[in-house]
Amino acid sequence: MDKVLASNRPKLLFVVTEDWYFVSHRLLLAVAAREAGYDVAVATRVRQHAETIRRAGIRVIPFELSRRIGNPLLELMGLFFLYRRERPDIVHHVALKPVFLGGLAGWLAGIPSQVNAVAGLGWLFISRSRTARWMSPLIRWILARLLSAPRCRVIVQNPDDAELLKKSGVGESHLRMIRGAGVDTAEFSPTSEPREPICVVLAARILWDKGVGEFVEAARQLTQDGVKARFILVGDPDPDNPAAVPEATLHAWQKEKIVEQWGHRDDMVTVFHAAHVVCLPSYREGLPKVLLEAAACARPIVTTDVPGCREVVREGENGLLVPARDAQALSDALLCLIKNPELRAKMGHRGREIVLKEFSSEKVIAQTLDLYKELIG
């Protein structure tokens, strides 16, 4: 009986490179879709979070899709056969590689509808390397054609990404602005500041593109100037990413004792409650969930004036914006908040207000479910 009922429900398949990312950014949406009547599954690389996904009632399909260039033809064929076997009514691709290869595989397999979530335009669009400069125009040209299919919709998280895709040839009627993955404002709740010393936290994968190098340099400058504060990196290295900080560099920083390295943490609420200031000096983002979570916890933010980050921070209201790749400007902004508890409290309160009004998970989920309805009729 259950199989008969499931066969009558529209099939929704998520394609995500990593199971941890699905749990962090899309699990609440998947559960809401299941409760709305969809038969939901996720194809992802399985590491440590498959049971969490299954307990939420979502079927897990182990699928290896490396975030490196890897063997794209082999991965494309794998996705094609996956789609032919599963025959989903909607495939929801998340991030650039699943969007690119999955979009092509979906077209070849005759998938009725696709949702392509461009979660930031990634290394190819921000790297200054020769490889990225050569590949980016070709990738944009192919993407524009894939994303312009009749029953394809593209989720963008900030206006800059929307404009870049439109300039690449994606029609405006295919674009939908849904701002991030949302944040659970009940879980990420405000608390009063902890006792000093001041803790400045950067929570992200340990990549050069996240501004980790500038953060360490700013911490070095402030420490040398006698500022009493702790500077903390929360997150793991990401060896599959071309922008990964080498292990040797991390060991050198550890010996220097300028920054603390806490590694991966599942208890991010506890991390933010232990922080006085949250920092993310990225070069480009989609819409960073870590900043939404920090703001929901009423923590002031220092981040860069780049796509994605400036959608969360309103200069002088809930945080400070600095130019990307500028360690001195970052150091100055951090010092401003380190020295001013009243400003920290004011900005933290305003950040919580902004998240409640604009970035709650309930709002993001409702917008995405409406998009699914639009596609299946």
Residue spans per domain, the chain: 2-181+361-376, 198-358
pLDDT at 224 over 80: yes
- Long-range CB pairs of 87-90, under 8 A, 24+ apart, other chains included: 87/11, 88/11, 88/12, 88/13, 88/41, 89/10, 89/11, 89/12, 89/113, 89/376, 90/10, 90/11, 90/12, 90/13, 90/114, 90/115, 90/372, 90/375, 90/376
Domain 198-358 has CATH 3.30.390.50: no
Which residue carries 């299946």 as its tokens?
376
Residues 6+ apart with CB under 8 A from 63: 15, 43, 44, 45, 78, 79, 82
Which residue carries 């939908």 as its tokens?
176
pLDDT at 248 over 90: yes
pLDDT at 121 over 90: no
Sheet holding 90-94, edge to edge: 59-62, 39-45, 11-18, 90-94, 113-118, 152-156, 175-177
pLDDT value at residue 118: 85
To the nearest 10 degrees (0 to 180), the angle between helices 341-358 and 289-296 is 110
366, burial (CB in 10 Å: exposed 0-12, middle 13-18, buried 19+): middle
Tell which CATH classification among 3.40.50.300, 3.40.190.10, 3.40.50.2000, 3.30.360.10 matches the domain 2-181+361-376: 3.40.50.2000
Which has more pLDDT, 129 or 258?
258
pLDDT value at residue 237: 86
Same CATH topology for 2-181+361-376 and 198-358: the answer is yes
| Mean pLDDT in residue range 38-53 | 96
pLDDT single digits (tens) 12-34: 999 999 999 999 999 999 999 99
